[in-house]
Structure 1
Amino acid sequence: MTAVTAPVPPMAAERVRALRRMKLIAGGLLLGAAVVFVVCRTVGDGAGVWGYVQAAAEASMVGGLADWFAVTALFRHPLRLPIPHTAIIPSKKDQIGEGLASFVQQYFLTSEILSERVTAARVPQRFGEWLAEPEHARRLADELALAVSGTASVLRDDVLRDSVAAFADKRLRALDIAPLLARLIDAVCDAGQHQATLTTTLKGTLKFLEANKAEFRKRVSQESPEWVPDWVDDRVFAKGFSLLQSFLADVIADDGHALRRGFDQQLRELAERLRTDPEQIRKVELGRDQLLDHPSVREYLANLWDSMKKLLLDEAGDPESDLRRSAQSLTIRLGEVLRDDTSIAGKVNEALERLAGHVATNYADDLTAVISLTVSRWDTEETSRRLEIQVGRDLQFIRINGTVVGALAGLAIYTLTQLF
């Protein structure tokens, strides 16, 4: 498998400088111990105070060198010598990745731990508090509008135009139009709107008759026999026209008129036939299909996607549009429900816990495999270098402590030998 550079973030220059500084300090202490040892061997005779100082310096060098070897052996071969059990991180990189994956799976990706953390996180309440803020809701609505605009702009209009038209046509042809019309007629009758419509129609008829009275009189003259005098035609027309106007006025003024009752009964009988009469239902469905086959309707369905897209883009692009305001208000309402309704929050928590348990049970191996696979693909030298930059500064304290503790231990041992 081809090794790749470990995908860690760029190291800060300060961290690198701190590592170098700590290495200089640790190396300086070791060098200082060596200088003291050389001075003691050169100037002193090993007796008295010189013996104590020399013993401390000698033990300090041993401790410093041993800990330098231990720290260096983690990342590389000391002095580039292939000493066994050195360069531990480069040689054990894959095993470290597998061990890390196993550790994560065993102690992090378990149903119990995930459920506990989901409950402690109070996800519904915290998410609800965030959504309930008007500013956050507005930002979310803006992002939604941008997403809608972006999605609509990359869709293929030719494909969607045909798909939307075919879908609308199919759904309309499958619609049980007769029962729907029956419910509509019932609702209109229950609300009394049919009588209001009848009243408006009758008033319009009265105005139409009055406006065209001369035309109707002319037609009566044309249809009347030639031997009938005009004055007879005038009286007959005036009487009939007056009776018609009076009848229409009576119907308009009387809410309980027989014509109104008959009109109501006819509509309700029509609604019942639309529900129960197969022949009536067939006629309505045939009319529906004929309407859908009309060229104007076909053209409207073909352009339905274009109209929808334009409306959607206009609404999404306008910061004050109903779409954005609705999205913002719904977001705030959702946040308030999640924040304040403990029963809803509890159900959401239960769903999240079940989801976490499902992931831990069925996908833990796949998730942790990402860790081991990723580590196995890292370049060994680059991995060692970056890990050393991350933790090397703290490891230099081991060298410092080894140098200091070694000096103290050597001094203590030499002192004991002198006393006993």
Structure 2
Amino acid sequence: MAAISVPLRPGGAVPPALRRMRILATGLLVLMACVYIVARTNEDVHPAIAFVRAFAEAAMVGGLADWFAVTALFRHPLGLPIPHTAIVPRNKDRIATTLAQFLRENFLIPRVVARRMQRIDVAGAAGRWLSDASGLGQGRLRRGASRLASDMLESLDQERLGGMVRAAIAGQLRQIEISPLLGKALQAAIVQNRHQPLIDSVVRWAGKTIEANEPILREMISSKAGTILRWTGLDETLANAILDGLYNLLLEMAEDPDHPLRAKAEEGLATLAMDLQRDSAARAKVEAFKNDMLDNPALTQWWQGVWDQARTAMLRAARDPDSLMAGKFGEALRQLGETLQRDPALAHTINRFVRRAAVGAASDYGDGIVRLVSDTIRGWDAQTITGRLENAVGRDLQYIRINGTLVGGLVGISIHAVGVLLS
């Protein structure tokens, strides 16, 4: 009977549950053999022992037959090359094809996916999860995602990643012609009268510049005034008059929105907006300035500082997700979850988008998934596929052996009883 037990699969461990069921089924068969020997030896002692012998004898036959059937699925019983045994190893390619076709026909057909997705409320599930403060604050998924995010950020090369991000942004900016965008933005600001703060800022800047450089301006006026004016001291009077005139002019421009010079400035801004959109020379100058700015080392240094601060902030948030979820970000997520539960239109839109995405994925990638499954199973060796299938269904197959032993015994005792009645 030792040869009946199935040997361990090479390269893999037998699960404890399967091992226990094998021992139980084989032990029951051995027990029936022992009972048969004892009953056969003492059959003359009492007529009832014949029923015990018949039960044990038929139970051995049933158990051995089912052991042979179960074993023949995965290997040759007793190592003998009996025809139509070791079914799984010999037909693994056909199993791969059949399993792939089953997966394709029952799970990856777009109409099947659409019908199943109609029963799933993705938006409602997401809303309940997001609005659950305990789920956001203490969930295992959140903590795992936090550790994964922090580990990824720490493992990446800081300078290289920052350079890659900067290069990607710079590449996108180089491809975008910003001159027409600036022109349209300026034109829209003029139409909506939002350019006035710009003119006010220019006026204030001019006043501060004159005030900061007043000694230099006085020296320039004095040097241009001539010798006679300097001898008579009128150069200082002239400088005071010119500076006072400039201050008064800027003050009038700041206080009077309809000042003629402001109108000229507005006209100049309108002309600039049109040139930025239509004048090729102006557009070329803006593009050249943009490229010079992108190539400037100072911009690279500035970006590196911004990236360092952003990376530090992301690491701090990833390492302490409780504070992040307790802040505005967590509150925003909870509000989003409540909105998903309260707004049927939004939930319907999200569910429809998810359903269409799943149907599209099944349509576009279904064949690829099927090929992946089929090719993966075909790539397994006979021992691998045998071991995995046996681990998956082997425990239930051992129940077949046990049931075969018991049912065989009942059939044997029934046949013996009929024989006794007919004799």
TM-score by length of 2: 0.71
Judge conservation of contact 1:185–1:267 (CA < 8 Å) in 2. Answer: no
Query: 2:203 is aligned with what amino acid?
Result: L
- In structure 2, the residue matched to 1:408 is 410
1:198 corresponds to which of 190, 195, 203: 203
- After superposition, the C-alpha distances for 1:169-223 in whole angstroms (9 at most, x for unaligned) are 5545765655555556677865445246435644764786699879967975724
Amino acid at match of 2:264: Q
Higher deviation after alignment, 179-188 or 80-89: 179-188
How far the C-alpha of 1:315 sits from its partner, in A, is: 1.4
**Counterparts of 2:143 and 2:389, CA distance in 1:** 43
Secondary structure of the residue aligned to 1:68 is helix
Q: Is the 8 A contact 2:75 2:89 kept in 1?
A: yes
- Give deviations 1:102-148, integer Å, cap 9, x for gaps: 22222222334423443444333334554565547797577557656
Who is 1:111 aligned against?
110
Q: Corresponding residue for 1:271?
A: 269
**Corresponding residue for residue 86 of structure 2:** 87
Instruction: Specify the SS of the correspondent of 2:105.
Output: helix
Q: Once structures 1 and 2 are overlaid, which stretch shifts more, 155-164 or 364-373?
A: 155-164
Query: What is the CA RMSD across the aligned residues, in angstroms?
Result: 4.8
Moved more, 198-207 or 382-391: 198-207
Hey, what does 1:15 align to over in structure 2?
17
The CA distance in 2 between the partners of 1:176 and 1:308, in whole Å, is 23
Segments of structure 1 that go 5 or more residues without pairing to the other structure are 1-5
One-letter amino acid of the counterpart of residue 261, structure 2? F
- 2:229 aligned residue (224, 232, 236): 224
Structure 2 counterparts to residues 274-353 of structure 1, below 5 A: 274-276=272-274, 281=279, 284-285=282-283, 287-288=285-286, 291=289, 297=293, 299-300=295-296, 304-305=299-300, 307-318=302-313, 319-320=315-316, 333=332, 336-337=335-336, 339-340=340-341, 341-353=343-355
Give the superposition deviation at 1:37. 4.5
SS at match of 2:84: coil
Residues 243-294 of structure 1 deviation map (CA, whole Å, 9 limit, x = unaligned): 9637845863796659x61121111211232345799946644653674687
- Contact 1:274 1:280 (C-alpha < 8 Å) held by counterparts: no
Aligned-partner Cα distance in 2 for 1:161–1:207? 38
Residues 32-51 of structure 1: CA deviation (Å, up to 9, x unaligned)? 3431443245x45xx83344
When structure 1 is superposed on structure 2, of 22-31 and 119-128 the one drifting more is 119-128
Please, which moves more after superposition, 371-380 or 278-287? 278-287
Give 3-state SS (helix, strand or coil) of 2:259's partner: helix
Q: Give % identity.
A: 24
Higher relative contact order (CA 8 A, sep 6+): 1
1:16-42 Cα shifts (integer Å, max 9, x gaps): 54134213322223313431443245x
Over 3 Å counting, the alpha-carbon distance change for 1:351 and 1:11 in structure 2 is farther
Q: Does structure 1 conserve the Cα–Cα contact (< 8 Å) formed by 2:29 and 2:405?
A: no
Matched AA of 1:407: G
Give unpaired runs (5+ residues) of structure 2: 1-8
Aligned: 1:124 with 2:126: no
TM-score by length of 1: 0.71
Q: Which residue, out of 364, 367, 373, partners 2:366?
A: 364
CA distance in 1, matches of 2:127, 2:202: 49
Instruction: Note the alpha carbon deviations across 1:374-414, whole angstroms, 9 max, x for none.
Output: 33333324543454444334333333333322232222222
AA partner of residue 90 (structure 2): S
Q: Does the aligned pair in 1 maintain the 2:179–2:283 contact within 8 Å?
A: no
Aligned residue-pair number: 400
Amino acid in the other structure paired with 1:49: A
Q: Which residue of 1 aligns with 2:4?
A: none
Indicate conservation of the 8 Å contact 2:32/2:60, yes or no: yes
Correspondence 1:71-220 to 2 at 5 A? 71-130=70-129, 135=137, 147=152, 153=158, 155=160, 168-169=173-174, 171=176, 175=180, 178-182=183-187, 190-195=195-200, 197-198=202-203, 201-202=206-207, 205=210
Return the alpha-carbon distance in structure 2 between the equivalents of residues 350 and 223 of structure 1.
89
Larger Rg computed on CA atoms: 1
**Would the aligned equivalents of 2:180 and 2:277 in 1 still touch at CA under 8 Å?**
no
Rounded Cα–Cα distance in structure 2 between residues aligned with 1:356 and 1:126: 17
Cα 1:283–1:185 change in 2 (3 A) is farther
2-structure distance, mates of 1:194, 1:56:
108
**Aligned-partner residue type, residue 34 of structure 1:** Y
C-alpha contact 1:61 1:406 (8 A) present in aligned 2 = yes
Distance between the aligned counterparts of 1:376 and 1:218, measured in 2?
A: 95
